[in-house]
Amino acid sequence: MSGPPQGERHLCPRRGLVKAGLCGETGRDMTVFRRLKAIVAGSAGNLVEWYDWYAYSAAALYFAPIFFPKGEQTAQLLSSAAVFAVGFFARPVGAWAMGRYSDRFGRKKAMVASVALMSLGSLAIALTPGAASIGIAAPILLVTARIVQGLALGGEYGVSATYMSEVAGKTHRGFWSSFNYVTLIGGQLTALAVLIVVQRSVSPEAMNAWGWRVPFVVGALLALTMFWLRRRMEETQSFIEAKASGIELGSTRMLFKQYPRETLTILGLTAGGSLTFYIYTTYMQKFLTNTAHFTRDEATELSALTLLCFALAQPLVGWLSDRIGRKPVLLFAFGGGALVTGPVMTGIAASSSMVAVFFIIMAGMLVQAGYTAINAVVKAELYPAHVRTLGVALPYALANASFGGTAEYVALWFKQAGAESGFYIYASVIMGIGFLVVLGMPDTARTSRIQED
C-alpha cells in the first residue's frame, strides 16, 4: 500500500494531530491568497478585541462622572484611569494562561477563547448601572468587567502576534505582521468613530445619560461575530511541528531559565514602546481637553484623524524593516522618542490651532511607528515555536501593565501635582533605556527563530 502524499506527511507528522484537528492546509508552500486569508482572519479578531478595550478610554470623558460622581474633572478622570490601569494588571495573568494554552493546544483555540472573554467584559460594562442607582457596587462591577477584559487582551496580543508572524512568510514578515498594530490602532480608531457617530446622533444630555453605553454594546456583538470567524481559522505549521516534536510546550520555567536574555529584551522594549504609545493614543484625548483646552468633540476628532494616519504608516515601516533590518528601525523609534516626546507635548499644550496640533502629534507618532509596526514580529522572532506565544505574551504584558497601563494615571498625577513637565521627562528617560536595550540586541530579521516560510 502506498503511503500518503509527501505534502500530507509534512502537514500531519503524527496521526494524533489529525484526530485533534490540528492538521489543516497551512504549510511551507502557502499561497498568497491563503496567507492573506490567514492574516485577515487573525487581524479582524484582533481589531475587535482592541476596539472593546479602547471603548473604555474613548468613552471615559462621559462615564467618569457616572461611576465616580465626586470631585472635579481631573479627579474623576484620575479614578477612571486607575480602573484602566487595573485592567492592565490583569493582562499578565491572561498572557501567562493564554500563552501556555496557545503553545500547548494551538494558536487557533487560544484566539477563540480570548475573543469570547472580551465579549463578556464589554457586555458587562454596557449593562452596569451608575453609582446613583447602585452606589459603590457600580465601580466594583466596572473594575470586575475590566479585569475580565484584561485577561482576554493579555492573551490576545501574544497569540495574535505569534499567529500573524508565523503565517506571514520570511520575505515580507515585517510587512504582513505590521497588520497586528494596524488592527490594534484600528480597534481604537473604530472605538472613536463609533463614539463620534453617537455624539452626532443624540443630544448631549442623552450622551451623558446612556449614549456612552452604545460602543460597549457594539463591541460585545462584534466579538461574538469574531468568535464564529476564528473557529474557522487554520492552525499554523509552526505549532503543528512543535506539537509533533515531543518537546515540552509552553513551559514558564523554560522561558526564564533558557531564554532570559530574550525575555529581558522584550521587557525593555515594551516599557518605553508601550508608555509612548499610550501617551499618543489613549491619554492624548484627555491631554487635549484637560491641558490644551480643546473641546471634547475637537479632542475626539483630532485623536481619530491622527490614529488613522498612524495606522496607515504601519505597513510602510514594516516593509522598510524587511529591506534594512529591524534594528535600525527600532533605534530610530527609541532614540527619536527620547528626544521628541517633551517638545511634542509642550508644543501641543502651547497651541490653539487644530491644524498645528495635528502635525505635532503626527511627528511624534511617526517616530513611534518604528516600534509599533515591528514590535510583534521582533518578539516572535526571538523565540522558538514551543515557547513562542508565552515568550511574546508574558514579558510584554508585565512591562505593558507597569508602564503602558499606568501612563494616563502617572500623567494625571503629575498634572494634579502641578508638575506636568515631569511626566515628559519620565517618558523620555524610559525611551532612552529602550534605546540602550536595542543597541545590545541582534537584528532579528537575520537571526529569526521562525522556521515557517
pLDDT in tens, 375-398: 999 999 999 888 898 999 999 989
pLDDT at position 453: 61
Domain that residue 301 falls in = 31-447
pLDDT at position 73: 64
Task: Tally the domains of the chain.
Answer: 1
pLDDT at position 235: 79
Residue 350 amino acid letter = A
Question: Quick check: is 128 in a domain?
Answer: yes
Q: How far is CA 452 from CA 32, 239, 256, 392, 445, in A?
A: 14, 10, 24, 17, 14
Please state, for a pLDDT cut of 70, what percent of the chain lies above it: 90
Q: How many whole angstroms separate alpha carbon 93 and alpha carbon 88?
A: 10
Residue the block writes with cell 503629575: 414
What cell does 83 get? 480602573
pLDDT at position 6: 37
For the question of whether the overall pTM of this predicted structure is more than 0.85, the answer is no
Please state, for a pLDDT cut of 90, what percent of the chain lies above it: 31
Any residues with CB less than 8 A from the CB of 18 and at least 6 apart, and which?
12
pLDDT at position 85: 72
The pLDDT tens digits of the residues spanning 335-370 come to: 999 999 999 999 999 998 999 999 999 999 999 999
pLDDT at position 430: 97
Which region, left, alpha or beta, applies to residue 88 given φ > 0 means left and ψ of -120 to 50 means alpha? alpha
Question: Quick check: is 25 in a domain?
Answer: no
Residue predicted with more confidence, 162 or 273: 273
Nearest partner of 367 among 427, 302, 287, 443, judged by Cα: 427
Q: Which CATH number do you get for residue 133?
A: 1.20.1250.20
Kindly tell me if the per-residue pLDDT of 38 is higher than 90: no
pLDDT at position 383: 92
Question: Quick check: is 279 in a domain?
Answer: yes
Question: Quick check: is 9 in a domain?
Answer: no
Kindly tell me if the per-residue pLDDT of 324 is higher than 70: yes
> Could you give the dihedral angle defined by the CA atoms of residues 267, 269, 271 and 277, in that order, rounded to the nearest 10 degrees?
-140
Question: Quick check: is 21 in a domain?
Answer: no
Kindly tell me if the per-residue pLDDT of 310 is higher than 80: yes
Question: Quick check: is 313 in a domain?
Answer: yes
Question: Quick check: is 23 in a domain?
Answer: no
Kindly tell me if the per-residue pLDDT of 311 is higher than 50: yes
pLDDT at position 22: 41
pLDDT at position 144: 87
Kindly tell me if the per-residue pLDDT of 177 is higher than 70: yes
> Could you give the dihedral angle defined by the CA atoms of residues 353, 357, 358 and 361, in that order, rounded to the nearest 10 degrees?
180
The pLDDT tens digits of the residues spanning 74-126 come to: 666 677 777 767 777 888 899 899 888 888 888 888 888 888 888 888 888 88
Residue predicted with more confidence, 445 or 14: 445
Question: Quick check: is 229 in a domain?
Answer: yes
Q: How many whole angstroms separate alpha carbon 403 and alpha carbon 390?
A: 20
